Chains A and B, each alone.
Chain A
Amino acid sequence: MTPPPAASVAAMIRPAPIPDDSKINQDILYVMKGTSPGYWLLLSIALTFVGIGAAVWLWQIYEGLGIAGYIHPVFWGVYIVTFVFWIGIAHAGTLISAILYLFRAKWRNAINRSAEAMTVFAVMTAGLFLGIHVGRIWKAYFILPYPNQRGLWVNFKSPLLWDTVAVSTYATISIVFLYVGLIPDLAIARDRHSGWRRVLYGILALGWQGTSRNWKSHTRSVLHLSGLATPLVLSVHSVVSWDFAMTLVPGWHSTIFGPYFVAGAIFSGFAMVLTLMIPVRRIYGLENYITDYHLDNMARFLLFTSIIVGYAYVFEYFIAWYSGVEHEQTSFWMRTFGAYWFSTWVMIVCNAILPQLLWFKRLRTNVPFLFVLSVLINIGMWFERYVIIVEGLSTEHDPSAWGVYTVSWPEIGILAGSFAFFVTLFLIFLKLFPIIAIAEIKELAIHAKLHPEGGH
C-alpha cells in the first residue's frame, strides 16, 4: 500500500486531547498560586522590620558607629557576629545541592531548591553587614582592587581580603547554581501560566524544551558546578574562620577553627532549612514531597554536626588547659564564668546538649519537636559566634585593657531587620518560583512508576 500524503494523514489524526497535567506539577506550582491574608500579614510584618532596620542604619550612617555598643577593646560586635551567622546559614544550601549531589543522596531532591534559595538570601543578608560594620559605607569599595590615582592596591596578604574574595565568589556561584537548577522548572511554569508570569518565566527559561541537547549540557553543568562548589563550601567558612584564627587573640588563635566553623555552618544551615520548610510543608500540603524520611535524614545531619561542634567546644577547653598558656586559660575561664557566662551556656546547651535528643528515632520524626529544636539551634549558633568574637576581644592579653561590651538598641534593630530582610526575600521567592525542584522529583517519580518493585 502506498502511504497517503502527509496532509491527509494529519486530517485523519484527531487533535490530541490536552492531557491531564502531572500531579507533581500541580502540587508544587500550587504553592505559587494566590496569596492568603496570613501571607500578606507575615510579609507586612517582615517589611516593617526591614524598614526599622533600614532607618536605624541610616541613623548610624548619619551619626557614626558610636551608636553601636562598641567599647574599648571590643570593636567587633553584633554586626560581625551576625555576618558570620548568616554566612554559616548559607552553607546548608550548597552542601545539600553540591555535596549530596556528588554522593548521589537522592533524598536531597525534596529540599535542595529551598536550601539553594536560602543560601542566596543568607549571603545577601550577610553582605549587608559588611557595609553596616565598616561604618563609612561610602568608602566600602576600598576593599576592591581597582586602579586608582594613588597607585595603591589592596593587601592580598590580609585575611579580610581573602574573606571578600571568598564570600563574593560564594555569592556568585550560589546564584549561578540556583538559576541553572531553576531553568527546567521555569519552563514547566512557563507552559502552565498566562499573562505576566508567562512572559517572566518565558524570558527566564531561555526557551528550554527539555531536548536531549538541553538536558545533556544541563546535567553536565550541574555535575561540574557541584564539583566546583564542594571545595568552595569548605573553603568559605574556613576563610571566614581565618579572620579570627590568623590573629593572636586568645580564644581565636587556634588551628581547629577551619573544620570547627565549617561544621558549625552546616549545623546552623540545616537547622534553618528545617525552620523554614516545616511551616511551608504544613501550610502548602507538601507532606508527600518533604516526608518524615527527609526530616529524619536532616535530623541525623543535625546530630552528626552537633557532635562535631560539641567535640570542638570540648577540645577548645582542653587545649587551653593543656597549652599551659595563661592568657588562653583565663580567656576560657572568663568565657564560662565571666561576664558572658549566659551566652556561653546558651551556646553549649542549644548546640551540643539538646541535639543529643535526636538519638531517639521518635523525636527525629516528631515535627513540632524538630521545629522547636531547629529554632533553638539557630539561637545557639548565633550565641556561639557572639561568644567567640565578643568574649575573645573583651579579655585579651592585658587585664588592664579589658572591657565589657553590651549590645545596644540600634544593633538589635539592625539584627531584627536582617532577619526580616531574609524572611521577606524567602516569602517573595515562595510565590514566584517553584520551591521544590520539580524536574528532579519527576526523575525519581518516573523511575518509581516504571519500576514499582523497588530500587531507585
Chain B
Amino acid sequence: MAQLVGVFEDPGKVAEVVGHLRGRGFEDLETYSPAPFAEVDDAVLEKPSRVRIFTLIGGLLGVVAGYAMTIWMANDWQIMLGGKPYSSIPPYTIIAFELTILFGGLLTALGLFIVGRLPRFTRDAAYSARFSAEDFGVAVRCAERDVAEVDGLMRMHGAVEVNLVAG
C-alpha cells in the first residue's frame, strides 16, 4: 500500500476530488482542513455527526436528575417551608433546567472526544503543519499500481502538489 497526499487551496476542489476518488473506489481517504468547511467534511462523512445523540442523552439525564434529586431530598427529611408542598415542581424546575444544560453540555464535550476520536497520541504521517496554515490536504491510501491514477486525479482537480508519504 502507498499513501499519497494532495495539497489544495480551495475547499470546493477538495470536495470535488474526494467525490471523484470515492467514485473510483478509493474509500480509504482523509482530509485535513485549516478551518471548518461543510462541503469538505460532508464529502468524506455523509451522515450528521453522532454528537447529537450525546447531547440528547445528557439533556434527558439532566432533567431527570434535577427533578429526582430535589424531590427525593425534600422528602428524605421533610421540613415544611413557607407552607409549600414538599415536592414543589415550580422551584425545582429551575434546578432541573440548569442541570439539563449542565449535563447536556458536558456530554456534548464527551461526544466531541468520542465521535471526533480525540485525544490522539500520534500525528498521521500525511499530516503537516501547512494544514494548520491555509492549505487543505487529501490523503489517500491505495495500491502501488494506482499511484499514478490517484496522482493524476488530484492534479486534474487542482492539487497544488501531490506527495508520496513515506512509511
Contact = CB atoms under 8 A, between A and B. Distances in A.
Nearest to B142: A6
Interface in A334-373: none
Contacts of B92: 156
Interface in A23-61: 24-25
B104 A162 contact: no
A401 interface: no
B36 A219 contact: yes
A71 interface: no
Contact of A165 (B95, B123, B127, B133): B95
- Residue among B2, B104, B118, B135 with max Cβ neighbours from chain A (10 Å): B118
Interface string A414-456: 0000000000000000000000000110110110001000000
Contact of A154 (B35, B73, B147, B161): B73
- Residue among B50, B52, B117 with max Cβ neighbours from chain A (10 Å): B117
Contacts of B64: none
Given A209-B32, A228-B104, A153 B73 contact: yes
B106 A165 contact: no
Nearest to A232: B101
Nearest to B114: A217
Interface string A169-189: 100110011011001100110
A217 to B, nearest CB: 4
Contact of B94 (A217, A221, A224, A239): A239
Given A9-B147, A228-B108, A162 B34 contact: no
Given A173-B105, A235-B97, A446-B11, A221 B51 contact: yes
A214 interface: yes
Nearest to B144: A6
A184 B123 CA distance: 14
Given A10-B166, A217-B112, A224 B55 contact: yes
Given A6-B2, A16-B161, A228-B55, A156 B98 contact: no
A231 interface: yes
A267 B96 CA distance: 28
B130 to A, nearest CB: 5
B165 to A, nearest CB: 8
A191 interface: yes
B32 to A, nearest CB: 5
Contacts, number: 218
Given A6-B147, A446-B35, A215 B41 contact: yes
Given A157-B81, A212-B31, A220 B49 contact: yes
Given A19-B130, A224-B51, A173 B41 contact: no
B105 A187 contact: no
B32 A155 contact: no
A279 B135 CA distance: 32
A216 B73 contact: no
Interface residues of B, number: 85
Contact of A212 (B30, B97, B111): B30
B101 A439 contact: no
Given A165-B99, A450-B10, A210 B132 contact: yes
A219 B106 contact: no
A322 B59 CA distance: 43
A169 to B, nearest CB: 4
Given A3-B147, A157-B88, A440-B35, A446 B134 contact: yes
Contact of B112 (A188, A218, A239): A218
A224 B76 CA distance: 35
10 contacts: A22-B34, A152-B77, A154-B73, A155-B79, A169-B99, A188-B132, A207-B118, A212-B33, A232-B98, A235-B94
Interface of B: 2, 7, 10-12, 30-38, 40-45, 48-52, 55, 59, 69-70, 73-74, 76-77, 79, 81-82, 84, 88, 91-92, 94-95, 97-99, 101-102, 104-106, 108-109, 111-113, 115-124, 127-135, 144-149, 161-164, 166
Interface of A: 2-3, 5-6, 9-10, 13, 16, 18-19, 21-22, 24-25, 145, 151-157, 161-162, 165-166, 169, 172-173, 176-177, 179-180, 183-184, 187-188, 191-192, 206-221, 224-225, 228-229, 231-232, 235, 239, 439-440, 442-443, 445-446, 450
